[in-house]
Structure 1
Amino acid sequence: MLPIVLLSVFGIVNLFLGFLRSNRALLPFVLVVLALVFGLNLLDWNHAGSLPGVFDSPYVAQMLTVNNYSVAFGGIVLLTALVLLPFSRSYVVAGEPNLAEYYSVLLFSLVGAIMMVSYNHLIMLFVGIEILSISMYVLAGSDKRNVRSNEAALKYFLQGSFATGVLLFGIALVYGATGSFQLDGLAAGIAAPANASLQPMLYVGVLLLVIGIGFKVSAAPFHFWTPDVYEGTPTFFTAFMSTVVKTAGFAAFLKLLVVALPGTSAVWLPTIIAMCMLTLLLGNVGAAVQTSAKRMLAYSSVSHAGYLLLGLIAGRGQLQGPAAQGIFFYSLAYSIATVAAFGVLKLVADQRQREDYAGLAGLARTNPLLAFVMTVAMLSLGGIPLTGGFFGKFFIFTAVAGQGYIWLVVFAVLMSMVGIYYYLRPVIAMYMRPAELGNDTPIVVDGFQSATLVLLAMLTLVLGILPGFLSGLL
């Protein structure tokens, strides 16, 4: 698990670079670090194993494992952070005094995300979630002079702490019923229980686990924190939160249900189905009535949690089957499109001081590139053909239909139609509405950011035209 070690070490090194008081050195350094870690992560492909050396002691052996599943989802997390970083350049230009700390917290949060996709032990899952969550609490309140940012951090911290308590209580109950924290030990304990009278405690523990992780991935009815926190958090960190956290969360969720808890599917499966339907309904309807583009993307993130929950429903008993492949592809397509959308929104908000649809009005005339990239991102998030989002939904819908849940697929398709309505609103504003007085000047975009936006748009289109490149990885 060299990526975890390097991210931890370089996160500390980056803090010392902050003493140089030169923000211009920080962004290139972190970009190089993430590119290096991303490459080293890929070198673990087809090299399954556990932590070597000192970690081979009986107390910590097999707590983290390396396989193609962890490499694939770890790659999405690292790639997302890598393509998101160029949009932090405004902090460099403005001379943000805490930039070194922010970048280090981002690197540390990636440690938690990789733990979540690589864990083989419930304690390691808990540690990964907490590393990622605490980092997000800090970043949500990073704009200390903004009341909305302070409110977002406080809400996220208080509600997240409560969800953490629920998750930890669930882990304790499951351990008490099975006598193991290891995923394979949990599955064996459930299949052949030593004490049948502990079954009710096991079922309560499983439900608490589902609730705790459901909060982390913004699944309804545990999504109530998402709109306010996403809106109040600085846009750059909102993009990170809505992609990295969701990808790591669902990778961990699928692994838990498929590897450790298949014997309790009679308990968690109806719960996941109910959560899925409620998430799709509230997420899409909530997004449709928003007037703020950023708040719309927050509710949109909730709705995408619903589509990913469909993958959990179809993934019973198969960690590397069609459902896992669908979640992987969907997470990649969603992350790329979301980074592009938030990247454009941040550039607009930085210079027009607006995050509503009116702030996007006339963008096609003043900044055709930004309008094009935003359009591609919206079409992908809406699941329009020839974009990565279309095949993401297609793979998940196919996997769910293969399990016999045709009615659930029909419901998800209907909710997707609602999504098309609100995803087209920014496009209509950019191409069909004139810019308001004072918002008709071009947005300044440097060459690095422009190249990143073009790359994101091209990746989205390539995933929609040639999905076969990645469709057989898992």
Structure 2
Amino acid sequence: MTSIILLSVFGIINLFVGFMKSKRILLPLALLFLLVVFGANILNWDNTQSYFNNMLTIDNYAVAFTGVMVLTTMLLLPFSQNYVEEANENLAEFYSLLLFALVGGVMMVSYENLLMLFIGIEVLSIAMYVLAGSRKGSLRSNEASLKYFLMGAFFTGILLFGIVLIYGATGTFNITEIGDAQRATDGVTNTMFLLGLLLLVIGISFKISAAPFHFWTPDVYEGAPTLFTSFMSTVVKTAGVAAFFKLLWNAFPLASDWFPTIIAITVLTLVVGNIGAAVQKSAKRMLAYSSISHAGYMLMALVAFNQSSDSSIFFYSISYAAATVAAFGVLQYVSSQRGGETFEAFNGLGKTNPLLAFAMTVSMLSLAGIPLTAGFFGKFFVFSAVVQDPNLMWLIIVAVILAAVGIYYYFKVVIAMYMQPAGNHARVQVGSFASFMLIFISVLTILLGIVPGLVSDLI
């Protein structure tokens, strides 16, 4: 609860600071705010507390995933330096909306009541609708915002309808009481309950861009400013998957009711994400489809549905977020200074900008799941959770085959950077703060690939 209060207060304070003539104080101030929130969040470890008549519970699960989301935001903010240098008049609003979006994310990993889950999703989504269309002079940005809003509103209705049906079938919004009601039926559930569960699954699947509810993702990710695309593909996905697992684990413990649907969504997400990414010519659209595929890998932990699921989601979220923030950070500088988001824009980057090329390479290797990177152990822990059920060995085989497809499209970027001539491309200018952050993320990715136990045992 402390994190929610601090994020809300800091978001409001940041808006007032925005009235100052100089915008340069806003970035360090936002980072300071997030650092305070991160520290306050850690203090809640092993100190479970419930609020609002048990509608919200701050336990170790909530603290862990709140920490991931706050840390991810801290990692991506330095890449907003160009907004500071351009003295963007909306900079204060951008940072405040990110802070408010985090409030929704914290609610999504802390809820004990379906209404609180709904509120958290809406707080997060509304902020993202605005940020997706923040580049007012761009038709792509306007299209992204409109498409995201219309599709989001439609699936919000589906989600809300599912919540209503679950309440009608069980008489409660509390997820623990819903789980008790499901157990009391001895596996015999009525049509209203099953339909409500299906609508809940559809609504949350949209939020994490799982197939076949992914169709908004490539266009929205491509049209939104790269900084906010990075936030959507990391923080929003982390909150969504963590909320999804908590919902299934507590409210629907009898997996037989939802297992066929979830496993079908998982396989379809893996196929669509990897095959879709492999045929893209735009690096940004490739990363958009890549985010879909990684939603599929995280959903595998839900399919496993055992004591290892939460820890595997936790580690995967950290490894995926670090690599994705670095990838979008490099893409932002390359696209803005080389005038394109295609793979050709990365030609010769290894010679003109060795640091950017190194950070992008580490990021691509991690996303591909290559050993000695955090992404390798992210996939390893997810596969380890799934392999505990011998009947799911076929799912691991499918995931490994599609991961091999992932190596193909991730290495397109690496090949362009090191094996293609730079041509007329000049050196990409990068600020010292962003350079430091790229080094930090690269070291973190490699460190977690060598010593994964640093964070894998926290939850």
Quickly name the TM-score band, shorter chain normalised: over 0.9
2:343 equivalent to 1:357: yes
The one-letter amino acid paired with 1:332 is I
Residue in structure 1 matched with residue 81 of structure 2 by the alignment: 89
Residue in structure 2 matched with residue 228 of structure 1 by the alignment: 219
Task: Determine helix, strand or coil for the equivalent of 1:400.
Answer: helix
Alpha-carbon distance between aligned partners in 1 of 2:256 and 2:21, rounded to the nearest angstrom: 57
2:406 equivalent to 1:419: yes
Alpha-carbon distance between aligned partners in 2 of 1:31 and 1:210, rounded to the nearest angstrom: 35
2:389 equivalent to 1:403: yes
User: What are the superposed Cα offsets for residues 77-133 of structure 1, whole Å, 9 maximum, x if unpaired?
Assistant: 000000100000100101111111111111000000000011111000000000001
Alpha-carbon distance between aligned partners in 1 of 2:185 and 2:300, rounded to the nearest angstrom: 29
2:440 equivalent to 1:455: yes
2:198 equivalent to 1:212: no
Deviation for aligned residue 1:469: 1.4
Alpha-carbon distance between aligned partners in 2 of 1:89 and 1:373, rounded to the nearest angstrom: 18
The one-letter amino acid paired with 1:203 is L
Moved more, 12-21 or 159-168: 12-21
Residue in structure 2 matched with residue 111 of structure 1 by the alignment: 103
2:457 equivalent to 1:472: yes
Aligned pairs for 1:52-451 within 5 A: 60-193=52-185, 199-263=190-254, 265-315=255-305, 318=306, 321-404=307-390, 405-437=392-424, 439=425, 441-451=426-436
User: What are the superposed Cα offsets for residues 269-322 of structure 1, whole Å, 9 maximum, x if unpaired?
Assistant: 10010001100001000000001000000000000011011000012xx4xx21
Q: Check the 8 A contact 2:81/2:431 in 1, yes or no.
A: no
TM-score of the pair, normalised by structure 2: 0.98
User: What are the superposed Cα offsets for residues 334-391 of structure 1, whole Å, 9 maximum, x if unpaired?
Assistant: 0000000000001111211211111111100000000000000000000000000000
Residue in structure 2 matched with residue 28 of structure 1 by the alignment: 28
Task: Determine helix, strand or coil for the equivalent of 1:23.
Answer: coil
Deviation for aligned residue 1:21: 2.9
Identity across the alignment (%): 59
The one-letter amino acid paired with 2:438 is L
Alpha-carbon distance between aligned partners in 2 of 1:134 and 1:411, rounded to the nearest angstrom: 36
Alpha-carbon distance between aligned partners in 1 of 2:442 and 2:161, rounded to the nearest angstrom: 43
Task: Determine helix, strand or coil for the equivalent of 1:222.
Answer: coil
Alpha-carbon distance between aligned partners in 1 of 2:323 and 2:214, rounded to the nearest angstrom: 21
Residue in structure 2 matched with residue 2 of structure 1 by the alignment: 2
Alpha-carbon distance between aligned partners in 1 of 2:321 and 2:302, rounded to the nearest angstrom: 18
CA RMSD, 1 decimal: 1.2
Q: Check the 8 A contact 2:135/2:142 in 1, yes or no.
A: yes
Q: Check the 8 A contact 1:231/1:298 in 2, yes or no.
A: yes
Q: Check the 8 A contact 1:358/1:435 in 2, yes or no.
A: no
TM-score of the pair, normalised by structure 1: 0.95
Alpha-carbon distance between aligned partners in 1 of 2:22 and 2:228, rounded to the nearest angstrom: 21
Q: Check the 8 A contact 1:220/1:278 in 2, yes or no.
A: yes
User: What are the superposed Cα offsets for residues 217-262 of structure 1, whole Å, 9 maximum, x if unpaired?
Assistant: 0000000000000000000000000000000000000000011111
The one-letter amino acid paired with 2:7 is L
The one-letter amino acid paired with 2:38 is F
Deviation for aligned residue 1:193: 4.8
The one-letter amino acid paired with 1:468 is G
Q: Check the 8 A contact 1:179/1:189 in 2, yes or no.
A: no
Q: Check the 8 A contact 2:208/2:237 in 1, yes or no.
A: yes
Q: Check the 8 A contact 1:17/1:26 in 2, yes or no.
A: yes
Unaligned runs of 5+ in 1: 52-59
Deviation for aligned residue 1:183: 1.1
Task: Determine helix, strand or coil for the equivalent of 1:24.
Answer: coil
How many residues align? The count is 458
Task: Determine helix, strand or coil for the equivalent of 1:262.
Answer: coil
The one-letter amino acid paired with 1:236 is L
Alpha-carbon distance between aligned partners in 1 of 2:423 and 2:284, rounded to the nearest angstrom: 19
Task: Determine helix, strand or coil for the equivalent of 1:50.
Answer: strand
The one-letter amino acid paired with 2:190 is Q
Alpha-carbon distance between aligned partners in 1 of 2:251 and 2:441, rounded to the nearest angstrom: 36
- Structure 1 segments of 4+ aligned residues over 6 angstroms from their partners: none
User: What are the superposed Cα offsets for residues 24-72 of structure 1, whole Å, 9 maximum, x if unpaired?
Assistant: 0111110100011011111111111113xxxxxxxx3111111111111
Alpha-carbon distance between aligned partners in 1 of 2:97 and 2:339, rounded to the nearest angstrom: 26
Alpha-carbon distance between aligned partners in 2 of 1:472 and 1:29, rounded to the nearest angstrom: 32
